[in-house]
Amino acid sequence: MRKEDLSLLLSRDKRKIVSSFHSDCREIGIDEKELRWHNEHWNSHVKREALLVLSGKTVQSVNGHYFNGGPNTVFLYDHYEKHDDGYSPRSNGIHLWLFMLPKLFICNLLSCRKGSFTFTHQYFFRDENTIRRVENIWDEAAKSASPDLCLSELNALLNLVFIHCFRAFSNPKREVGNEFKMPHAHEVLTMIKNYLKENLGKDSDIDSLAHIAGYSRQHLMRLFQEHTGCRIKEYINVIRREKYEQIKNSMPVKSIAWELGFSSSAAFDHWKKYAFSEEPVRRDSASLPGSPNKNFLRKRR
C-alpha cells in the first residue's frame, strides 16, 4: 500500500459528509440496471458504520437515496439504516470502512475494482473515550435541526481515528508500538466471538461477519472452526441456549424471541424445536470467548 493512497487519512480539509440527516453531496439518479442491483444488495443492522473513500469512486445508497462518493467523501450509516451490501459494478478505488462496536472501532482497508473487493489491512481502534464521544455527537447531530456544529466535531473525532489508521497502515510490516499494531487472527476471531455473544445472533449472517472481520466468507468459516472447534451457527446456538436458560421464566415469549435475535415468535419457536434436540457443542471449545482451540494457537506460533 503506497502512502499516497493513504494521504487523505491525514486531512479533513474539504471532506464531504453524506448521511440521512445531512449531505454535502447532491442526490443523483441511477439507471434501471443499477437500481436493480441496489434493490437486490442491501443491508440494515444495529451497528453504525462509516465509509471513507480514499481514491476512486462509488455510488452508495442511504435509505433509498443515491450519492456519488469520490475521494474524501465520508458516508455515515446510522443504526438500522438501509444501505448497500457490497459494491455496485461501477465502484473502484481504496476505501476505509469503520465498523462501530461499543468499545471497539474495526477499521478495514480494502481495494475495490469493478465492484469486487479485497481486504488489505485492518486496525482495531480501542480508545473508549473517543468512541463514546463519537456516539454521543452522532446522536446529537442526528437529532439537531442545524447539525453543522455537531458535524464539525464529529469530523474532527473521526479524523483522530483516521490518523491512527494511517500510522498502522503505512507501516504494516514494521512494529510501530502496541497501540498501532495490526490485529492477529486470534484477536479478530475473539472479537467475532464477543460480537456474537453480545448480539445473540442479531446481525450475524456469515457475509456480515466476514465483512466485519476483514476476511472472505470461506476464510472466516474455516478459521472460526479451527479456533473454536465448532461452526458459527453451532456457536450461536450455544450462546442462545445459555441465554434462554437464564431468561425463560422472566419475560414473555415475544420478548424472549427479540432478546435472542429472532424477528418473530414463530422463528423463535422453530429454533427452540430443534436447538435442544441437537448434539451439544463441547463447552471447552465454544462456550466462552477468549478460550481458543489449543491446536489453533499451536499452528500459528
CA distance linking residue 189 with residue 177, whole number of Å: 22
**178 falls in which pLDDT band (50, 70, 90)?**
low
Does the residue 189 lie in any domain? Answer: no
CA distance linking residue 143 with residue 149, whole number of Å: 12
**Which residues are registered as beta bridge partners of 124?**
106
State residue 177's pLDDT score.
55
**280 falls in which pLDDT band (50, 70, 90)?**
low
- The pLDDT tens digits for 208-239 are 899 899 998 999 999 999 988 999 999 999 99
Q: Among 151, 183, 215, identify where a domain stops.
A: 183
Q: Specify whether the CB–CB gap between 91 and 183 falls below 8 A.
A: no
Domain count along the chain: 2
C-alpha cell at 197: 455473544
Same structural domain, 149 and 252: no
CA distance linking residue 183 with residue 185, whole number of Å: 7
Give the residue carrying C-alpha cell 451457527: 233
Residue of 245, 214, 205 whose CA lies nearest to 99? 214
**78 falls in which pLDDT band (50, 70, 90)?**
very high
Count CA atoms closer than 13 A to 100's CA, side-chain side: 23
DSSP H or E run through 246: helix 232-247
Q: Specify whether the CB–CB gap between 161 and 98 falls below 8 A.
A: yes
Does the residue 192 lie in any domain? Answer: no
Same structural domain, 176 and 246: no
CA distance linking residue 134 with residue 160, whole number of Å: 11
Same structural domain, 124 and 268: no
Same structural domain, 229 and 85: no
Does the residue 15 lie in any domain? Answer: yes
Task: Fill in the amino acid letter for 277.
Answer: S
* Helix ranges, 18-127 (H): 32-40
Does the residue 190 lie in any domain? Answer: no
Of the ranges 137-146, 174-183, 240-249, which one carries the lowest mean pLDDT score?
A: 174-183
Q: Specify whether the CB–CB gap between 43 and 83 falls below 8 A.
A: yes
Does the residue 45 lie in any domain? Answer: yes
Same structural domain, 223 and 112: no
State residue 67's pLDDT score.
97
Same structural domain, 155 and 201: no
Nearest-10 crossing angle of helices 128-143, 148-169: 150
**72 falls in which pLDDT band (50, 70, 90)?**
very high
Same structural domain, 166 and 208: no
CA distance linking residue 197 with residue 194, whole number of Å: 5
Query: Average pLDDT, stretch 256-285?
Result: 75
The parent domain of residue 137 ranges over: 3-183
pTM confidence score:
0.82
Same structural domain, 177 and 220: no
CA distance linking residue 27 with residue 223, whole number of Å: 41
Does the residue 286 lie in any domain? Answer: yes
